[in-house]
Amino acid sequence: MAVRDEPLTRPRGAVHEWRGLAGLAFIGLLIGGALLGLVAEGARDPSGARDAFDPYLARVVRFTLLQAILSTLASVLPAIVVARALSRHGAFRGRGLLLRLFSVPLALPQIVAALGVLALFGRAGLLADLASASGLGHWPSIYGLSGILIAHAFFNVPLAARLLLQALDTIPADHWRLASQLGMAPWSTFGLIEWPAMRAALPGIAGLVFMLCVTSFTIVLTLGGGPAATTLEVAIYQALRFDFDPARALVLTALQLGLTIAIVWLLARLGADLAGETSIAVSRRRYAAIGGVETLFNAAVLMLALAFVGGPIAAIVAGGLEADLGRLIGEHAVRAALATSLVLAFVAAILCCLLTFGLVSGRKRLEARRRSSPAGLAERLMDSGTALVLVVPPIIIGAGWFLLLRLFADAFAFAPVMVVCVNAVMAIPFVVRAIRPAHDSAFDRHDRLCRQLGITGMARLRLVDWPVMRRPLATGFAFAMALSIGDLGVIALFGSEQVQTLPYLLLARMSSYRTADAAGIALILAVFCFLLIMLAERLGGEKR
Amino acid sequence: MRIFTLLTAAATAAFAQVASADTLTVYTYESFTAEWGPGPQVEKAFEAECGCDLEFVAVADGVALLNRVRLEGEATKADIVLGLDTNLTTAAKATGLFAEHNIDTAAITVPGGWSDDVFVPYDYGYFAVIYDTQQMTTPPGSLKELVEGDAGQKIVIQDPRTSTPGLGLLLWMKAVYGDKAGEAWAELSDRILTVTPGWSEAYGLFTSGEAPMVLSYTTSPAYHMIAEDTERYQAAGFSEGHYLQIELAGLTTRGTENPLARQFLAFMTGPAFQDVIPETNWMFPAGKTSEPLDPAFSKLVKPQETLLIDAETVEANRQAWVDEWLSAMSR
């Protein structure tokens, strides 16, 4: 059987590999084109690149790494506890609501999130009021490293928890059944069943969070308390925006990329590959009875997570309700911006899901083909490599492409295309995390069977892949859309009259005293994100 | 095939010529063209006067405006660029994309006077520390009092590396303290709650009650008085004087071929344009208005002295001064 199998699978494997390579090529083109544009411009005056290395830069690099590493720890460690609590209790009332709430921070512009966090933890925040009212004395200032960590945790604890939960959901039901038949204590269940699944996903998730924190800009400056809190991203922005020095910006971007690759490489060494589960599940997951102490602990964990994530969101909602929402929704500018945002986010999310599916299935097939030999470059790139795009600042991509395109055409006519492409690619790392666990475990279960039955191409996609993948793909799609809808990135530096998105409008209102309007728009943004995620889950979760 | 291409090219060229004869393209910043900004009224008034089509292209702010023009280079569609400030003029002139305006600027008066062949002022404002009267009863009366005052009373400022008002405060400190600016910054740093990337973040923190003071403009209270009917937020008058920001418009080399461009610059100095500025852009008009300003404007702090460092000096020293600020603030 196996002997006849070999020559048949080779060409098919190659086809699938192409899907992944196409995804990589797209990402490569997007980044490569931008860098090319900047190199061409920077070559005219390379002195900025030489002068970039000074003691100031050393300080900036030190702080960038410090805050990013601490932020990653502050996000991922709590997320492990939260994800486990969510996984242990699969059916309590409000679980779905909590999970949807967890997707909202992703869609919020950083300044909105910062103000939400301050409404809870700031000098004029709720906790400070409570502290002085209860006579506990002075609430400590959060401006500085602590403020940065809290705000990053607000963004990333929910993200990491959702992604870890996705990994926990791939544990075969039989394992759970076995665990309960053997009467495993919570601690051994964690060590033998849950931890291995999480550990396999952890380096990728931690890497993702790290990259998001490395490039943080508004939060770091606003909550950092002063210029001692300066990240490389700030320096890149300054070089490109105020000094218009492409050479310096390029060198700083390369540095940021290099540092991140080093850290992600280290993280990858800490992880382990999950052994594939080849048997087909024979039972459905049943939630075993969980002891009282553990239930109490998990309930406390989830309440805390709810307060931490829900508190700032509640403040944003309360602020938004004070705005004149009726007038805002009636305004042509708001509706047009909403429509623009939705269309761009929708197209970006579709493109993103296609590219990601190609990358994920390409990677898995490469892995399956190499058996036990070490992973090649293409496979690694299709995995963690895609996330590196997050470390290339959107303004670099924007500036590079505008510089390149202006040689051939009216560069600004391409603004909508660029926004879609960049948003799609920036969302890939998130969607990879959302769909890869499900894809890989399904692949391990079904691949042999498909090959034996000769199910290939579209038939396999429709009959085998789609039923398993539709839920995670829907989650990924919602993620991608939420991310894109809140994005401002590529066009922020130069503006574009065709791309007036909702976040753009929000900042415009904020910059002309209309803070109430801005709060109202933030609420509209959050509500739409919430609805989108609900819709995606409904579409994905439907029984066939 | 080739004939078709040629025809298309010819048609496009013909169309482009028609379009440029009747259309004026003005690049400006976002809050200028917003529906509450000066843009819509200015557009209506100018189109009525010229019988042409005025098209605004809006980008985020003044710095983004210069970058946009720099990126487009010779291919820019702008006839007029409106919204640069004095600190950007040297860099803007260096691009070689701007031409002399050759219009009569007698109607324009800005504090300290103005003469420039390329850029024409349309409004101006003074930087000021705005304080919340509900949190603070005795605001600082001078920059010196701000620097040396109670460190418990915080102020939010903007980053001079990323924001125009942030650079404004840096120059204000330099104009007052000169060589001692570094030490003054070090002393002030205890009082600074945080340094935000832009004006909106700082003002957002201030209005949400995080700090009793923020760096903004003397005209900020006018917005709160006229649009929100509250006198809660007031500017602190500083005895050393206030640093000036002048907003400018310039003619691009492309604009020299469009007669509408110079017509627009002349229109900009007249009352039809200037009337719109105070209550939409919340700045002082640089030319005469047909009616006196709203009484709220007469309640604003009137600087005893105007501080302004010339554009060449700023351009030559900006990097060194920012470095000085960085090392003083990071201590």
Lowest mean pLDDT across A34-38, A153-157, A386-390, B52-56: A386-390
Contact call for B162 and A227, based on CB within 8 A: no
- Please list every residue in chain B whose beta carbon sits closer than 8 Å to the beta carbon of residue A509: 34
Beta-carbon contacts of A357 under 8 Å, excluding residues fewer than 6 positions away, are: A19, A435, A439, A469, A473
| Better-scored residue on pLDDT, B162 or B108 | B108
Superfamily of domain A14-42+63-319+326-541: MetI-like (1.10.3720.10)
Q: Has residue B14 got a pLDDT over 60?
A: no
**CA-based end-to-end distance of chain A:** 33
Lowest mean pLDDT across A4-13, A62-71, A164-173, A481-490: A4-13
Lowest mean pLDDT across A521-530, B36-45, B237-246: A521-530
pLDDT band at A490 (very low <50, low <70, confident <90, very high): low
Q: Collapse the DSSP code of A22 into the 3-class scheme (helix H, G, I; strand E, B; otherwise coil) and give the result.
A: helix
How confident is the model at residue B187, as a pLDDT?
A: 95
Pick B73's closest partner by Cβ from A242, A406, A510. Answer: A406
Tell me the average pLDDT of chain A.
83
Which residue of chain A comes nearest to B59, CA vs CA? A495
Is B71:A494 a contact under the CB 8 Å cutoff? Answer: yes
Tell me the average pLDDT of chain B.
90
* pLDDT-above-90 percentage for chain A: 21
- Please list every residue in chain B whose beta carbon sits closer than 8 Å to the beta carbon of residue A394: none
Looking at the DSSP bridge assignments, the partners of residue B216 are B128
How confident is the model at residue A541, as a pLDDT?
A: 63
| Better-scored residue on pLDDT, B61 or A531 | A531
Q: Has residue B61 got a pLDDT over 70?
A: yes
How confident is the model at residue A271, as a pLDDT?
A: 61
| Better-scored residue on pLDDT, A178 or B167 | B167
Measure B126 CA to nearest chain A CA, in Å: 16
pLDDT band at B21 (very low <50, low <70, confident <90, very high): low
Give B223-278 as a DSSP string. HHHHHS----EEEEP-TT-EEEEEEEEEEETTGGG-HHHHHHHHHHTSHHHHTTHH
Question: What whole-number distance in Å separates Cα of residue B266 and Cα of residue B273?
Answer: 10
pLDDT band at A55 (very low <50, low <70, confident <90, very high): confident
Mutate to test the interface with B, among A513, A517, A521 (most CBs of B within 10 A): A513
Structure tokens at A308: 């931490």
Looking at the DSSP bridge assignments, the partners of residue B252 are B98
Is A198:A87 a contact under the CB 8 Å cutoff? Answer: no
- Please list every residue in chain A whose beta carbon sits closer than 8 Å to the beta carbon of residue B56: 497
Tens digit of each residue's pLDDT (9 = 90 or more) over A223-256: 988 888 889 988 888 888 777 888 888 999 999 9
A418 touching chain B per CB within 8 A = no
How confident is the model at residue A504, as a pLDDT?
A: 83
How confident is the model at residue A129, as a pLDDT?
A: 87
How confident is the model at residue A275, as a pLDDT?
A: 45
pLDDT band at A495 (very low <50, low <70, confident <90, very high): low
Pick A495's closest partner by Cβ from B34, B60, B224. Answer: B60
Question: What whole-number distance in Å separates Cα of residue B125 and Cα of residue B111?
Answer: 10
* pLDDT-above-70 percentage for chain A: 90
Segment A376-386 shows an average pLDDT of 77
Structure tokens at B110: 């800005």
Pick B159's closest partner by Cβ from A227, A244, A509. Answer: A227
- DSSP letter assigned to residue A190: I
Beta-carbon contacts of A443 under 8 Å, excluding residues fewer than 6 positions away, are: A276, A361, A364, A365, A368
How confident is the model at residue A277, as a pLDDT?
A: 45
Q: Has residue B307 got a pLDDT over 50?
A: yes
Mutate to test the interface with A, among B130, B208, B230, B325 (most CBs of A within 10 A): B208
Tens digit of each residue's pLDDT (9 = 90 or more) over A323-377: 889 899 888 889 998 998 899 999 999 999 999 998 988 888 888 877 677 777 7
How confident is the model at residue A41, as a pLDDT?
A: 84
Beta-carbon contacts of B293 under 8 Å, excluding residues fewer than 6 positions away, are: B278, B285
Measure A227 CA to nearest chain B CA, in Å: 6
How confident is the model at residue B293, as a pLDDT?
A: 94
Pick A244's closest partner by Cβ from B70, B323, B326. Answer: B70
Q: Has residue A66 got a pLDDT over 50?
A: yes
Looking at the DSSP bridge assignments, the partners of residue B155 are B192, B213
Give A327-355 as a DSSP string. HHHH-HHHHHHHHHHHHHHHHHHHHHHHH
A406 touching chain B per CB within 8 A = yes
Output the CA–CA distances (angstroms, integers) from residue B4 to A383, B9, B18, B299, in the order listed.
48, 9, 21, 66
Q: Has residue A481 got a pLDDT over 60?
A: yes
Show me where the domains of chain A are located: 14-42+63-319+326-541
Question: What whole-number distance in Å separates Cα of residue A514 and Cα of residue A180?
Answer: 58
Q: Has residue B5 got a pLDDT over 70?
A: no
Backbone angles phi, psi at A430, to 5 degrees: -70, -45
Tens digit of each residue's pLDDT (9 = 90 or more) over A296-328: 999 999 999 999 999 999 999 999 998 889 899
How confident is the model at residue A315, as a pLDDT?
A: 92
Which residue of chain B comes nearest to A510, CA vs CA? B200
Structure tokens at B311: 């554009």
How confident is the model at residue A278, as a pLDDT?
A: 44
Contact call for B205 and A410, based on CB within 8 A: no
pLDDT band at A134 (very low <50, low <70, confident <90, very high): confident
**CA-based end-to-end distance of chain B:** 69
Helix boundaries (H) for A108-231: 110-121, 126-133, 145-168, 173-181, 186-189, 195-214, 218-224
Measure B103 CA to nearest chain A CA, in Å: 29
Q: Has residue A542 got a pLDDT over 70?
A: no
- Closest of A419, A538, A523, A526 to residue A477, by C-alpha: A538
- DSSP letter assigned to residue B60: S
Give A211-236 as a DSSP string. HHHHT--HHHHHHH-STTS--HHHHH
Q: Has residue B15 got a pLDDT over 60?
A: no
Amino acid at B35: E
Other Cβ atoms within 10 Å of B290 Cβ, number: 9
Tens digit of each residue's pLDDT (9 = 90 or more) over A179-228: 888 888 878 888 888 888 888 888 888 988 998 899 888 888 889 888 88
Q: Has residue B142 got a pLDDT over 60?
A: yes
Report the b/e string of B294-314 with b at 16+ CB within 10 A: eebbeebbebeebbbbebeeb
- Residue A428, Cβ density class (10 Å: 0-12 exposed, 13-18 middle, ≥19 buried): buried
What region, left, alpha or beta, does residue A373 occupy, with left being phi > 0 and alpha being psi -120 to 50 degrees? beta
How confident is the model at residue A221, as a pLDDT?
A: 84
- Please list every residue in chain B whose beta carbon sits closer than 8 Å to the beta carbon of residue A218: 197, 201
Handedness of CA A54, A56, A62, A68 (dihedral sign): negative
Q: Has residue B11 got a pLDDT over 70?
A: no
Q: Has residue A67 got a pLDDT over 90?
A: yes
Question: What whole-number distance in Å separates Cα of residue B327 and Cα of residue B182?
Answer: 8
Measure A519 CA to nearest chain B CA, in Å: 10
Tens digit of each residue's pLDDT (9 = 90 or more) over B196-220: 988 988 999 999 999 999 999 999 9
Q: Has residue A107 got a pLDDT over 60?
A: yes
| pTM, rounded to two decimals | 0.84
Question: What whole-number distance in Å separates Cα of residue A5 and Cα of residue A13?
Answer: 12
Tens digit of each residue's pLDDT (9 = 90 or more) over B119-139: 999 999 999 999 999 999 999
pLDDT band at B230 (very low <50, low <70, confident <90, very high): very high
Output the CA–CA distances (angstroms, integers) from residue A333 to A118, A503, A521, in the order listed.
29, 12, 11
How confident is the model at residue A69, as a pLDDT?
A: 95
A118 touching chain B per CB within 8 A = yes
Segment A37-49 shows an average pLDDT of 83
A242 touching chain B per CB within 8 A = yes
How confident is the model at residue B45, as a pLDDT?
A: 95
Lowest mean pLDDT across A435-439, B51-55, B83-87: A435-439
How confident is the model at residue B284, as a pLDDT?
A: 96
Amino acid at A457: G
Beta-carbon contacts of A345 under 8 Å, excluding residues fewer than 6 positions away, are: A423, A480, A481, A482, A484, A485
How confident is the model at residue A246, as a pLDDT?
A: 86
Which residue of chain A comes nearest to B153, CA vs CA? A123
How confident is the model at residue A497, as a pLDDT?
A: 63
